[in-house]
Structure 1
Amino acid sequence: MSKTILISGASKGFGRAWAEAFLAKGYQVAATARNIDTLADLKAQYGDAILPLKLDVTSREDSFAVVEKVQKHFGNIDILINNAGYALHGAVEEASEQEARAQFETNFFGTLWLTQAVLPIMRNQKSGHIIQVSSILGIATLPIVGLYNASKFAVEGLTETLASEVKQFGINVTLVEPNGYITDIWGNDFKSKSIDAYDGIKKAIAEADNSDSFGKVSATVPAIIKLVEAENPPLRLFLGKVALPFAKQVYGQKLATWEEWADVSVAAHG
């Protein structure tokens, strides 16, 4: 029997590429987006194999309603991919309260609501796979996207905990952690009001930008297919060639600092 995949943020970027690949492989796909007109061509091509659903993931009520529709339509949900998200650009000091809350409402709470909605179904099935699209910036930070970094760090903590809780029910959990890719997440209009004091670091980052470090979205398709078809999927999966070296560098620095201050830490135990 064909697996049923529910994927959020399917209108563009990773979500669009992966939804199309799943359909081509013969999976049943429930694809959510704020504007489902963007999925009309896939509906025309794949018919009943795709169920486009309008969803603003920041609404817990709507997220639960969408999951209910998917279960009624396809009969089951085997895989959830929480992909919806965006990046707020700006220094930490520049973020307004509304911008900060909105970043977490989508990236963190949107992930939480859909996860909570599918869990009763997957527990009843005694099977399932929840895939959270995080980022290399969920384990190592870069300047000028501090709220995005923080939201992905939150997703990492939530998901690692979740994995330890639901393994007993036969549910697998994976954090997908891409490095930079050529998507509109980096060229969007979500920018905080600028403070002149941060112009220097913004300029330095712009001048250091290396397009060779950005991957191609289409190249992620074989990896995500392998992931959803794996019998024992990993808790974490990097996407791209930059992520692992960056993680090694950052965690090497963290370990060195912890070791340097180890005597102070132990003495603080009492």
Structure 2
Amino acid sequence: MTASARVWFVTGASRGLGRAFTEAALAAGDRVVGVARDVSTLDGLGQQHPERLLALSLDVTDREKVFEVVGRAVERFGRLDVVVNNAGSLFSGMVEEFTEAEARAQMELNFFGALWVSQAVVPHLRESGGGHLLQVSSIGALGGFASTGLYSASKFALEGMSEALAAEVARFGIKVTIVQPGGYWTDLYTSSRATEPKAVYDELREELQEMWAEGSVDSEPRLAADAVMKLVGSDEPPLRLLLGSMVYDVAFDISRRRMETWAAWEETSRAAEKAVPNPVG
């Protein structure tokens, strides 16, 4: 281990992208605090890197526990350099179908979990003079898609919070990057939950399944980890980073269509604003 070895804090480290990020950091000689609800799958890595991997059980929706575990991480390794907010889940279903409990569960993990971790690590990053916070978002934050509305909502919320956070902590040397992955061979979809379907949407579901079967592009998580290693090695990391050709093309397509719509309605938009003196007083 070199003196320049970084200390990572990775949520959702037991599987999928989180596991890939953890393995890549360890391969680079860095130290990692890997957290997840069940960290038993990290036992093998822990045996290979007993001095450089600390696996801690954590439910990121428990704010008090998040602060406690972050404190233990800093106590063990002395500081944090790279924090990856990766923990998340997919709860699919049409917006009309969601119960209150299901909608709140999606927001609790994907948004509030990332918020609690962000709040817990920022003081430590500030105290050590800086660091890099990676917020793992999704192609779902580029636009709302049928049957993933609440998932998209949670990622939209994550990105809005993260943009504000980036502006707030920049003066402390803390960098924030929103990572927007496309499809990877993880268990996000196989472990996802779904609402109780309403028959009125059966035709739409069939159309969506056909579209996804024809257009799905999934890659090895290792490729995402390679990109993240380049990202954290940059002196000037971007606020946003797209991962994958498909998500890159989708991002540009959505942006173009939005700009075309705004331009088509420009006259109406501009007519809705005209400065006048304060009518009260």
TM-score tier, shorter chain, comes to: over 0.9
Return the match for 2:175 from 143, 163, 172: 172
Q: Work out the CA distance in 1 between the residues paired with 2:12 and 2:216.
A: 26
Q: Is the aligned partner of 1:236 residue 2:240?
A: yes
TM-score by length of 1: 0.97
Give the Å deviation of 1:20: 1.0
Name the SS for the 2:91 alignment partner: coil
1:220 partnered with 2:217: no
1:41 paired residue number: 44
Following TM superposition, by how much is the alpha carbon of 1:196 offset from its aligned partner in structure 2, in angstroms? Answer: 0.6
**How far apart are 1:215 and its partner, in Å?**
2.3
SS at match of 2:115: helix
1:51 to 51, 54, 79: 54
Q: Which amino acid letter does the alignment assign opposite residue 205 of structure 1? A: L
Per-residue CA distance 1:178-206 (angstroms, 9 max, x = gap)? 01222211122411111011111111111
Using the alignment, how far apart are the partners of 1:57 and 1:269 within structure 2? 43
Q: What amino acid does structure 2 have at the position aligned with 1:76? A: R
Could you tell me which runs of 5 or more consecutive residues in structure 1 were left unpaired when the two chains were aligned.
none
Residue 29 of structure 2 corresponds to which residue in structure 1? 26
Matches within 5 A, 1:1-270: 1=3, 2-209=5-212, 210=214, 213-270=217-274
Q: Contact 2:183/2:216 (CA < 8 Å) preserved in 1?
A: no
- Is the partner of 1:258 in helix, strand or coil? helix
> What fraction of aligned residue pairs are identical, expressed as a percent?
42
Indicate how the Cα distance of structure 1 residues 40 and 192 shifts in structure 2: closer, same or farther if over 3 A, else same: same
What amino acid is the match of 1:47? P
Residue range with higher mean Cα deviation, 184-193 or 161-170:
184-193
Q: Which amino acid in 1 is paired with 2:177?
A: T
Letter in 2 for 1:20: E
Per-residue deviation, 1:251: 1.3
Give the SS at the match of 2:23. helix
Alignment-derived partner of residue 278 in structure 2: none
Q: Letter of the 1:153 partner, please give it.
A: F
Counting matched residue pairs gives 270
Q: Structure 1: how far apart are the matches of 2:117 and 2:61?
A: 10
Cα distance between partner residues in 1 of 2:19 and 2:130: 25
Q: Which amino acid aligns with 2:244?
A: G
Tell me how far apart the structure 2 counterparts of residues 86 and 205 of structure 1 sit (CA, whole Å): 20
What runs of 5+ residues in structure 2 fail to find an aligned partner? 275-281
- AA aligned to 1:132 is Q
